Structure 1
Amino acid sequence: MRRIYFLVPDIDSTKRVVNELLLARIEERHIHVIAKSGTPLEDLPEANLLQKSDFVPAVQQGLALGGTTGLLAGLVAVALPPASTVIAGGILLGTTVVSAGIGAWLSGMIGVNLGNRRIKEFEDAIEAGHFLVLADVPADRVEEIEKSIKQHIAEVEVETTEPKIPAFP
């Protein structure tokens, strides 16, 4: 899956973009709309916390950093004289898993409070009243969908496409 960002000038055009995506057989759960705070989105699919925050990238980074730290701490613990080779594997595994979990949890708590880095570049346009539509589409259909949206709705700007997105947001 790849995420396409469409910058749309008004709510009527946003509805047309969402309808065009639905006609292209993109499920509604893969379409997310972000607007200025307080703007009524009517029946449009609003972006949730996972799309608006840096939660997922932060958890991924925390998992990697915590796991690495735990692995190194486990290796140090195994190298110390009282550790026997029988319990060495348990120490190594335990410190790695626990540290990865703690790192993911702490990073997730920080990431949920940070705005999405990808959306920050659109903040001025959103505050000016534009709408940002995020569509998660199959990688092999990106060009087809971009072309279809541009062809049917001229005022829409296709801003950027992410190389890949996590499977669950």
Structure 2
Amino acid sequence: MKERYFFFARDFESAKHIIEDLKSFGVAEEDLHVIANDGVVLEPLPEPDITHRSDVIDAAKRGAATGGAMGLLGGIVAVTVPPVGLTLGGGAILAGTALGTALGTWFSTLVGVSVPNQDVEDYRHRIDRGELMIIVDCEPDQYSQLTGMLESRHADTLLKKGNLDAA
């Protein structure tokens, strides 16, 4: 499974050269993303998708867990109410859990889309002052070779291991 790493370039031109080097290293374009402040036009750099910019993935996970627990509880209550419990049986527990999980995921995802990704927000001060965050998805065994290449060619980049929910 791929891990996600991110690092910073001081300006657009540096980011462009880094992306070119990463592609020549063998990193696929779909595994590269660049986040910058609103004043920077990212064309032709690979732009981030909704999963990088927002908290949608973590929100969906939290919603599924919470909704599933609430649905399970609702199903147990439905079974223990004497008149309803006789006719519904164990199906109420399964249906309640499934419905709760689905609704919890859906509602949380709707909210998570509008919440900024916390990993990006931790470095918002760097992005706001003009640096570009470059996100790279790669296999863990490629990491040391990748960082070695970046450190030799781009010594001024700051490399961080991220957890932006790797693909």
Tell me: CA distance 1:38–1:2, structure 2 relative to 1, closer, same or farther (3 Å): same
2:140 is the alignment partner of 1:139: yes
1:78 counterpart residue number: 79
Contact 2:5 2:135 in 1 (8 A): yes
Q: 2: CA distance between counterparts of 1:5 and 1:19?
A: 16
1:62 counterpart residue number: 63
Residue 46 of structure 1 aligns to a residue whose secondary structure is: coil
1:20 counterpart residue number: 21
Structure 1 unaligned residues grouped into runs of 5+: none
Q: 1: CA distance between counterparts of 2:54 and 2:142?
A: 26
1:41 counterpart residue number: 42
Q: 2: CA distance between counterparts of 1:53 and 1:165?
A: 11
Q: 2: CA distance between counterparts of 1:116 and 1:103?
A: 19
Contact 2:8 2:131 in 1 (8 A): yes
1:165 counterpart residue number: 165
1:122 counterpart residue number: 123
Residue 38 of structure 1 aligns to a residue whose secondary structure is: coil
Residue 115 of structure 2 aligns to a residue whose secondary structure is: coil
- Give runs of ≥4 in structure 1 deviating > 6 Å: none
**Percentage identity across aligned positions?**
30
Comparing 140-149 with 53-62, which one deviates more in the overlay? 140-149
Structure 2 unaligned residues grouped into runs of 5+: none
1:91 counterpart residue number: 92
Give the C-alpha shift of residue 41 in structure 1.
1.5
* Residues matched between the structures, number: 165
Residue 107 of structure 1 aligns to a residue whose secondary structure is: helix
2:6 counterpart residue number: 5
Give the C-alpha shift of residue 98 in structure 1.
0.8
Q: 1: CA distance between counterparts of 2:111 and 2:62?
A: 11
Q: 1: CA distance between counterparts of 2:90 and 2:28?
A: 46
Cα-to-partner distance string for 1:16-50 (whole Å, 9 max, x where unaligned): 21112212221111111011103112210011222
Q: 2: CA distance between counterparts of 1:71 and 1:166?
A: 30
Comparing 59-68 with 14-23, which one deviates more in the overlay? 14-23
Give the C-alpha shift of residue 161 in structure 1.
3.1
1:102 counterpart residue number: 103
Contact 2:37 2:127 in 1 (8 A): yes
